[in-house]
């Protein structure tokens, strides 16, 4: 393993710079020890970054480019990330706790966004609208200008890639506020922007505290659009700041997503969905399968199988886990781990049982045992609030409507799944589930191409797919009176 650089700077207006608010220490969740220092942006740093991005926007350089050229630049940023995967993935593992093989998937996923949105750049076309003789009318899609993007820690690379690629492809300049817990790998986006020849100021990457740099960015009078991924309370604060400046925002918030498992479901195949659905990234996934609602006839067998699966996972430092397999890394921080453990304890006090797991592990680092909870009733806290950890709650149902009602019974609505061989049942569930994405017989089915976002408290707006392009452009209608 190569030595990690001890100090990482922010990137403002084409230069790597120190932070006006000093430095913070990034821990290695796999050991619990300090890993590196990161520059911390002040509100003045945010001002400089926004001013640089605004200058680039006002120069018109990105919007004036032929879209195919802009698209090639965006795609080349993804190629740059892939060319550095052996350097980026270990840093991502060390700062976030995820296994090395998962970190490699994340780098590839980040690169994929640049490929997809690079390819979309030249598909953003207006239309002409007939107004009868004497008029020529057409629409244009123009970039908003300065796109502010505030990033969570669970997928720091992929979440930045998702918004940055689409914003650049449509001609915006960007200010990214990276997460405090694992900001390091975002540096590679700055390198990529330089490498492909984007003008200084088109991409600014800065880490800072949410309450200071994050809040300053969200409320900045010179930004034109905000993309936020993170928790509900922060989302509300950001939407409020956006409203103050009358700028649009996209909110990708949390979830408490459920898989409905019918009596005819293929349980062998479903174990793979559980593996990915709740133990990938130690369950720190907004669209995690945090609830399974299983038909009573299958309950005991399903619980036996998921318990065996949870017990089979080898849990330890991500850097030692370089191959896909039955393993899991650390949670991102002691605070997140202790919060998840506390929620399990509360569920037990409310009458649920941990059939396996539920405790922090007796080793350095921020590890929580892969956990399966049974006897979970729909009104318990654990059935309604996001744990954001490797904790699966199993609930029972006896008829289809009950299952749908339980699935829809939380304030969230990010994703949902139904597992059955019966096409009619699956179709009914797809129609009735209150969620932005429905998976039938495969959790996480879909990809960068498919729109993603929430109903209810899971947020609004859609990222991924062609839908997301419209977050970054505004429509201008041009009506010409002919002579
Ligand atoms: P968080 O809301 O605490 O922080 C997210 C980001 O917002 C961080 O960069 C943070 O510094 C910043 N921030 C905090 N307070 C701010 C403020 N007042 N103003 C501006 N910025 C501020 O969330 P988190 O703990 O980093 O991430 C976990 C949460 O994110 C979970 O609830 C999870 O479900 C959600 N999430 C959702 C998606 C999605 O796509 N729907 C993806 C990943 C994570």
The pLDDT of residue 64 is: 94
The pLDDT of residue 2 is: 56
d(CA 35, CA 7): 9
Q: Is the CB of 40 under 6 A from ligand 1?
A: no
Please report the beta strands in 347-414, taking only residues with DSSP state E, as ranges in sequence order. 353-356, 371-374, 391-397
Q: Tokens 């609505």 appear where?
A: 413
Which atom of ligand 1 is closest in space to residue 255's alpha carbon? 34
Whether the CB-CB separation of 439 and 419 falls below 8 Å is answered with no
Q: Is the CB of 151 under 6 A from ligand 1?
A: yes
Q: Is the CB of 229 under 6 A from ligand 1?
A: yes
Counted residue by residue, the chain has a size of 483
Q: pLDDT by residue (tens digit) across 13-54?
A: 999 999 999 999 999 999 999 999 999 999 999 999 999 999
Of the residues 150, 151, 230, which should be mutated to test ligand 1's pocket, given the most ligand atoms within 8 Å of the CB? 230
Q: 172: Cβ–Cβ under 8 A, 6 or more apart, which residues?
A: 57, 62, 143, 144, 145, 146, 147, 224, 225, 472
d(CA 451, CA 446): 9
Distance 447 CA to ligand 1 centre (A): 22
Distance 67 CA to ligand 1 centre (A): 32
The pLDDT of residue 116 is: 98
Q: 231: Cβ–Cβ under 8 A, 6 or more apart, which residues?
A: 152, 253, 254
Domain residue ranges of the chain, discontinuous segments joined by +:
7-254+459-478, 258-411+415-447
Q: Identify the DSSP state of 198.
A: P
Which atom of ligand 1 is closest in space to residue 286's alpha carbon? 34
Sheet holding 33-39, edge to edge: 7-8, 33-39, 23-28
d(CA 100, CA 97): 9
* Residue 442 CB neighbours (<10 A): 15
Active site residue 207: no
The pLDDT of residue 127 is: 97
**Which ranges of the chain have pLDDT less than 50?**
none
Q: Is the CB of 115 under 6 A from ligand 1?
A: no
Q: 407: Cβ–Cβ under 8 A, 6 or more apart, which residues?
A: 258, 260, 291, 293, 416, 433
CATH 3.40.605.10 fits 7-254+459-478, yes or no: yes
The pLDDT of residue 26 is: 98
The candidate with the shortest Cα–Cα distance to 286, out of 408, 453, 100, 149, is 453
d(CA 173, CA 198): 10
Of the candidates 95, 115, 158, 252, the residue annotated as catalytic is 252
CATH superfamily, domain 258-411+415-447, is: Aldehyde Dehydrogenase; Chain A, domain 2 (3.40.309.10)
Active site residue 286: yes
Which segments of 350-419 does DSSP mark as H helices, in order? 400-407
Which segments of 60-99 does DSSP mark as H helices, in order? 61-64, 67-83, 85-96
Q: How far apart are the first and last CA of the chain?
A: 71
Q: Is the CB of 386 under 6 A from ligand 1?
A: yes
Helix (H, G, I), strand (E, B) or coil at 332: coil
Whether the CB-CB separation of 229 and 151 falls below 8 Å is answered with yes
């Amino acid at each position: 393993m190569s030595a990690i650089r001890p100090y990482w700077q922010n990137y403002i207006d084409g230069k790597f710079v120190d932070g006006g608010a000093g430095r913070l220490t990034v821990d290695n969740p796999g050991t619990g020890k300090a890993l590196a220092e990161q520059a911390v942006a002040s509100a003045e740093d945010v001002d400089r970054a926004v001013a640089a991005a605004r200058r680039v926007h006002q120069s018109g350089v990105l919007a004036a480019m032929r879209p195919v050229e802009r698209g090639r630049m965006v795609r080349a940023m993804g190629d740059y990330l892939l060319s550095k995967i052996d350097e980026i993935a270990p840093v991502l593992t060390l700062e976030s706790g995820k296994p090395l093989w998962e970190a490699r998937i994340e780098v590839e996923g980040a690169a994929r966004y640049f490929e997809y949105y690079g390819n979309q750049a030249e598909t953003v076309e207006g239309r002409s609208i007939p107004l009868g003789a004497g008029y020529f009318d057409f629409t244009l899609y123009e970039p908003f200008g300065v796109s502010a993007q505030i990033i969570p820690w669970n997928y720091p690379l992929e979440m930045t890639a998702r918004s940055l690629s689409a914003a650049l492809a449509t001609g915006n300049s960007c200010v990214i506020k990276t997460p405090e817990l694992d900001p390091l790998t975002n540096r590679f986006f700055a390198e990529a922007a330089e490498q492909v020849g984007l003008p200084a100021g088109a991409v600014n990457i800065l880490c800072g505290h949410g309450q200071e740099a994050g809040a300053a960015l969200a409320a900045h009078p010179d930004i034109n659009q905000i993309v936020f991924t993170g928790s509900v309370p922060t989302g509300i604060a950001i939407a409020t700041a956006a409203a103050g400046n009358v700028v649009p925002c996209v909110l990708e918030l949390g979830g408490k997503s459920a898989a409905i498992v019918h009596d005819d479901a293929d349980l062998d195949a479903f174990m793979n969905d559980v593996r990915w659905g709740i133990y990938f990234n130690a369950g720190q996934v907004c669209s995690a399968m945090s609830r399974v609602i299983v038909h009573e006839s299958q309950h005991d067998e399903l619980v036996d199988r998921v318990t065996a699966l949870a017990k089979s996972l080898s849990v330890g430092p991500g850097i030692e886990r370089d191959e896909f397999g039955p393993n899991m890394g650390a949670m991102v921080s002691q605070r997140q781990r202790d919060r998840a453990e506390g929620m399990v304890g509360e569920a037990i006090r409310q009458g649920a049982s941990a059939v396996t797991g539920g405790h922090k592990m007796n080793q350095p680092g921020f590890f929580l045992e892969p956990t399966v909870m049974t006897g979970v009733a729909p009104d318990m806290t654990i059935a309604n609030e996001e744990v954001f950890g490797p904790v699966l709650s199993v609930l029972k149902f006896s008829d289809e409507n009950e299952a749908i009602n339980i699935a829809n019974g939380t304030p969230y609505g990010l994703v949902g799944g139904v597992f059955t061989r019966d096409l009619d049942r699956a179709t009914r569930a797809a129609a009735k589930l209150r969620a932005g994405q429905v998976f039938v017989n495969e959790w996480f089915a879909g990809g960068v191409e498919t729109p993603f976002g929430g109903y209810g408290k899971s947020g609004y707006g859609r990222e991924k797919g062609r839908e997301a392009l419209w977050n970054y452009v505004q429509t201008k209608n041009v009506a010409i009176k002919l002579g």
